[in-house]
Chains A and B, each alone.
Chain A
Amino acid sequence: EPEVTQTPSHQVTQMGQEVILRCVPISNHLYFYWYRQILGQKVEFLVSFYNNEISEKSEIFDDQFSVERPDGSNFTLKIRSTKLEDSAMYFCAIQGLIEAFFGQGTRLTVV
């Protein structure tokens, strides 16, 4: 199973602050994904990223969110001005031929 490392594991931030969540997939994959899971709820798709651009995004992924792959290895999710409702687990994922593999997640708490 491909390894996907996410940092930090837990981040607490003040409402209105910017946060950057990082993902380092240890393999040569072309497609990267961010998913979100609010506590006690299902995992929801946020955005997919291919060839250095967004290939699909959900309605959750509004103008406050952005993704990039700044140095060819790290894959980041930025939330510009966090809201209380952004508190959730954020999972980075890569996909093989068909299977999806998730990182350990970053627990974001907005206070």
Chain B
Amino acid sequence: GENVEQHPSTLSVQEGDSAVIKCTYSDSASNYFPWYKQELGKRPQLIIDIRSNVGEKKDQRIAVTLNKTAKHFSLHITETQPEDSAVYFCAAKGETSYDKVIFGPGTSLSVIP
């Protein structure tokens, strides 16, 4: 069945350092890969996404890469700040409105001031 794996489950970095979270997916039909940030008690918030026709996308301090052949994708956060502390979920989805989102298990990121 459809599955998304995510590593590491917890990540602790010093403020200013980079953080990298890696995911793999199983469904070849997945063509859209969103990343969500979830703060305690709040909803998942879309922070960046990448489609299968693109290998890399960057938005300020956040970048995502995708290797569709290997079914790997990753999130890179540079110059981390304490407010980046949250749980991050990678996800995979087909490229239509009716496809459900399959979430990874999440990475709890702590940025130490």
Contact = CB atoms under 8 A, between A and B. Distances in A.
A54 B46 CA distance: 25
The number of chain B residues touching the other chain, given as a range, is: 20 to 34
B98 A100 contact: no
Contacts of A93: 101
B94 to A, nearest CB: 9
A64 to B, nearest CB: 20
Given A43-B89, A98-B32, A99-B49, A31 B98 contact: yes
A1 B45 CA distance: 10
A43 B101 CA distance: 9
Interface in A52-111: 55-56, 91, 93, 95-105, 107
12 contacts: A30-B97, A33-B100, A35-B101, A43-B44, A44-B103, A45-B101, A55-B98, A91-B43, A93-B101, A99-B46, A100-B34, A104-B43
Q: Which 9 pairs from chain A and chain B are nearest by CB?
A: A102-B43, A43-B103, A45-B100, A42-B105, A42-B103, A100-B101, A95-B97, A31-B97, A31-B98
Interface centre among A1, A35, A55, A107 (most CB of B within 10 A): A35
B1 to A, nearest CB: 10
Contacts of B98: 31, 48, 50, 55-56, 95
The dominant DSSP class at the A interface is strand
A100 B43 contact: no
A28 interface: no
B46 A100 contact: yes
Contacts of A31: 97-98
B66 interface: no
B93 A100 contact: yes
